[in-house]
Structure 1
Amino acid sequence: MFFKAYFINFGFLGDTLPALLPQVYVAYDPVSAKDLPNGKTRIRQRIDFLMILPNLKRVIIEIDGKHHYAREDGRADTKRYAEMVRVDRELRLRGYEVYRFGGAEFYNDQNTPEDNAVSVVKDFFTALFKQHEIL
């Protein structure tokens, strides 16, 4: 839904539309391996979407379901949440902008999830593209 809504809203930008790459693995720079625990040479983190803007700014977009912050029984999992925000900090320190959407943003009783996605995506990317002078 998110991917489709992106093109519905911004396809008019044609060749200047920044690519929105789904399901990308971000490999951490081996140069920083000495700082990683247990002698690892790099960490792999799968992200929902990666976008590289014309100014070479890297943007990560995550769509979070409850598995990002809750156990299977639906109760909050503070360790899982803490790990998620720790990884976000590391990504930001490596130059990425990180934006998270709660999956529930796309569901309400008034509209279909697809209609909500079009609206949420339009608002977000309009603001992001203005900030980076794409619009």
Structure 2
Amino acid sequence: MNSFQKKTLVALVSHPVKWECMMSIYTSFSIGGPAEAIVTVDRADELVPLLKFLKKEEIIWRVIGRGTNLLVADRGFPGVIILLGREFQSISGCIDREENMVLVRAGAGCSLGRFSLNCMEKGLAGIEFAGGSRAVSAVRLS
């Protein structure tokens, strides 16, 4: 990234940008070289302008979750890693007893374990199938 891109990146996010930070601290296997930049975004209204900027500037980016089963080369990642913060970890739901229906919504940054525990605490069933699976989230800018 050039200096203009770096300054703009810093201005677009509310958390400090981590430069040349080792990805090994963000992966369950504890491997991976430095990412050019790591940013945390807490809200969608912060994420959208960031993604537009990265697309416009043709900067490579990836959104990562908890880093489970994530392999990063020793040479690192030549772009921006996006971590999803507070708003993206929310869980909300509603129960419609007349329709015998439950809707639970979880943000892309919510761990599967936290989501499952939340459902269990509310006496909800149906997520058991995911007990051994990995959660995968994707964001695409149109």
TM-score range, shorter chain: under 0.3
CA radius of gyration, larger in: 2
- Structure ranking higher in helix proportion: 1
**TM-score, with structure 1 as normaliser:** 0.28
Higher relative contact order (CA 8 A, sep 6+): 1
**TM-score, with structure 2 as normaliser:** 0.27
